[in-house]
């Protein structure tokens, strides 16, 4: 199987078989049947893409209620550290996080199910980030957690003084004071 199970159940890394030669490469980035066989039954309805420079950190974001989202994320160019935090109260892994290096070179993808806050930081000079969502975005349903919350103690793999945040992400909630996942 092209999937790697993570320490936190439900998170999965998709490691596709890449066919390369002197012309370039080809790989199947998504096949519903293969994903369903791995237990990922999300029906994706929206694709998003961002471009960011070194040190940009986007997150930690999630949606609640009827607009909760699962995401399948990957990098088209560059390198990022991608992070998912379990925010499902009552979960045995509540407050734990998992990280994975995603790059254009390794072609890996990270499946982040509903009930997880998500974020990434750009480790290369620039990165183009792409993700599929299984639900539509709703501003009224968004939640945010501070990327550097000491309760989470996430190792972002860059000095925190080099992190570049949006104005919105500078005022995210502390873990435990964040909007509850419903």
Structural domain boundaries in the chain: 44-170
Q: Where in the sequence numbering do the catalytic residues fall?
A: 61, 131
Q: What is the strand order of the sheet 97-103 is part of?
A: 97-103, 79-86, 116-122, 57-63, 142-144
Kindly give the pairing relationship between strand 142-144 and strand 57-63: antiparallel
The pLDDT value given to residue 75: 98
Q: Taking all residues of the chain, what is their mean pLDDT, rounded to a whole number?
A: 95
pTM of the model: 0.94
pLDDT tens figures, 69-122: 999 999 999 999 999 999 999 999 999 999 999 999 999 999 999 999 999 999
Average of pLDDT values for 136-150? 96
Distance CA 87, CA 90 (A): 9
Distance CA 168, CA 67 (A): 20
The long-range contacts involving 161-166, CB below 8 angstroms and separated by at least 24 positions, are 162/54, 162/55, 163/55, 163/57, 163/121, 164/53, 164/55, 164/56, 164/57, 165/57, 166/58
Domain 44-170 has CATH 3.20.190.10: no
pLDDT tens figures, 45-67: 999 999 999 999 999 999 999 99
Running DSSP on this structure, what letter comes out for residue 149?
Answer: -
In this predicted structure, the answer to whether residue 182 has a pLDDT above a threshold of 80 is: no
pLDDT tens figures, 5-49: 999 989 999 999 999 999 999 999 999 999 999 999 999 999 999
The pLDDT value given to residue 1: 55
The pLDDT value given to residue 15: 93
Distance CA 88, CA 70 (A): 13
């Amino acid at each position: 199987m092209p999937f790697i199970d993570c320490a936190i159940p439900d998170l999965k890394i998709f490691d596709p078989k890449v066919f390369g030669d002197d012309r370039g490469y080809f790989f199947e980035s998504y096949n519903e049947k293969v994903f369903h066989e791995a237990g990922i039954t999300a029906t994706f309805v929206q694709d998003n893409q961002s471009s960011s420079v070194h040190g940009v950190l986007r997150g930690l974001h999630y949606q609640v209620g009827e607009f909760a989202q699962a995401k399948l994320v990957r990098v088209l160019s560059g390198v990022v550290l991608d992070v998912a935090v379990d925010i499902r109260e009552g979960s045995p892994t509540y407050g734990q996080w998992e990280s994975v290096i995603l790059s254009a070179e390794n072609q890996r993808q990270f499946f982040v199910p509903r009930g997880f806050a998500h974020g990434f930081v750009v480790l290369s000079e620039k990165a183009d980030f792409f993700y599929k969502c299984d639900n539509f975005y709703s501003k009224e349903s968004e939640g945010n957690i501070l990327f550097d919350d000491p309760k989470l103690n996430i190792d972002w793999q860059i000095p925190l003084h080099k992190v570049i945040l949006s104005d919105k992400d500078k005022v995210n909630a502390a873990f435990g004071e964040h909007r509850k996942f419903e």
